[in-house]
Structure 1
């Protein structure tokens, strides 16, 4: 474990931060610990060992001292990356040239803080334009809880335009966002296609860290932050 965390950086010897390349990533080390931990669990079940040297880390509520046992390698939690104001404006500038489907998807992802699967799984009957809300089905959410979320008036205008555009592709009920490629025309848009769209926007805007999950972190209180307009 010491070797994994201290091996020389491939980027050189001047390592000054966690992300600079020293050793393996914390998540990778945690993954490599799993089979070792399970092996020692097996040895304990067979009576060949009395303890597991690869501890999981435990916390006992109500104990001020000694209630927290550290794991062999501490888990590191990084804050999510959020574009600065100028970066967000660059993203919006690039997105403005995208087809209406991509623009309304980005706007809904931002307004409703939708994950990629939640966004791509939206259906036509999940929309309530009269109240400017949409239903996120339980089977598409991470916690398996259904929720109803609002979207902004500018996004509602975009959505109305997209629905008229969608009618030229297919009038069938079902998935809201459809592929417009020659090979898969009128088929439900896949998660991977949406990821490629967002990746293209990010690279053109010069913000490579922007991803399909970034918009989820841009909403904190339900209103755009200072100087951060809505994609709608």
Structure 2
């Protein structure tokens, strides 16, 4: 396996290699397999360093792995966990690294090599207090997604204005249709419907494997028309919509990594380093909520199976929530005053 070449520790553990091979044969996305391999290899490497047989590992060994993840120096530098922290991975990253370890032990249980899973998972248990929810091994922290301020967004647009037409239309569609990075880069020429200003997001390119049709604005349509004319100068062949113009990959579909580098360059040029390829999706869904869209409508637009996922993407500031509360309270206040006025106009006998 190519994964064993990248992470040799996987080749030294037959059950781990077999588990990954099964997931690969089941057609899981290459990036998912790669993430699983990385997380599991990281855990197996620690087991080897500590002289622990992973098949017989206990919850104590898993806890030690979690502690190492949360305290070791990060390659990205300081301030990973919190403002005053100089070490450790973020909570979300630790959760992500534990997923393949937990699934690996599920596989060992199915194979009859273990009786229990030392990682465990948060689950509903009838009869327990506080709603019957048993907490997972690592508490899950849910933070609000970051979105740029109006000034930051303006700075990003000013830098993007000097970008080639391809990059500008990609940024426009990423926001307009709330596209994930892979959905955007995987668009093909036959996914477009210019007559109705819609595009098709194919199931195989989505995170939830659900196809959807999404609209884009007239402004994005003008940019797209200009880009299609430019694309025709590169090639007239159908296929990937957004093409590379580098000498090495000329007229080949633009890769995810190339788009990430482009967005990173724009972010640094605008002085907004937190801006990423996923920020436009957060911003679009938040703007839809601000415009009064119902949560289930936003979920359909975003391609979410459940509205719980949609809620995590929407960022409403405290001021916006306060405005909604004030408006709602004004209506209730007016209703109560009307009731008092009606009671004041009744005859004494009616009120007694």
- Point out the structure with max Rg over C-alpha: 2
TM-score if structure 2 supplies the norm length? 0.54
Contact 1:55 1:70 in 2 (8 A): no
How far did 1:224 drift? Answer: 9.9
Distance verdict in 2 for CA 1:82–1:62, change over 3 Å? farther
Which residue of 2 is the match for residue 126 of structure 1?
191
Taking only aligned residues, the RMSD between alpha carbons, in angstroms, comes to 3.4
**More RCO (CA 8 Å, sep 6+):** 1
- How many pairs were matched up? 219
The residue that corresponds to 2:84 in the other structure is 20
CA offset digits 1:114-158 (Å, max 9, x no partner): 011110111111111111100111110111111000001111000
- Give the corresponding residue for 1:165: 230
Asked if 2 retains the 8 angstrom alpha-carbon contact of 1:105 and 1:119, the reply is yes
- Counting only pairs closer than 5 Å after superposition, residues 115-194 of structure 1 correspond to structure 2 as 115-194=180-259
Q: What is the match of residue 230 of structure 1?
A: none
How big is the shift at 1:71? 2.2
Cα deviation for residue 58 of structure 1 reads 1.4
Name stretches of at least 5 consecutive residues in structure 1 with no aligned partner: 227-232
Q: Are 1:117 and 1:191, in contact at CA under 8 Å, matched by a contact in 2?
A: yes
> In structure 1, which of residues 82, 87, 104 is the aligned counterpart of residue 152 of structure 2?
87
Measured after TM superposition, the shift of residue 206 of structure 1 is 0.5
Unaligned stretches of 5+ residues in structure 2:
1-62, 292-352
Per-residue deviation, residues 133-186 of structure 1 (Å, max 9, x unmatched): 001111101111110000011110000000111110001111111111122111
More helix by share: 2
How far apart, CA to CA, are the structure 1 residues paired with 2:187 and 2:259? Answer: 13
* TM-score (structure 1 length as normaliser): 0.79
Residues 7 and 23 in structure 1, CA contact (< 8 A), matched pair in contact too: yes
> What does residue 315 of structure 2 align with?
none
Which shifted more, 65-74 or 53-62?
A: 53-62
Q: Which residue number in structure 1 is paired with residue 283 of structure 2?
A: 218
The DSSP-based 3-state class of the residue aligned with 1:181 is: coil
Measure the CA separation in 1 of the matches of 2:137 and 2:256: 36
User: Which of 51, 61, 74 is the equivalent residue of 2:139?
Assistant: 74
Matched residue, 1:208? 273
Equivalence map 1:27-106=2 (5 Å): 27-30=92-95, 31=97, 35=101, 54-60=119-125, 65=130, 67-106=132-171
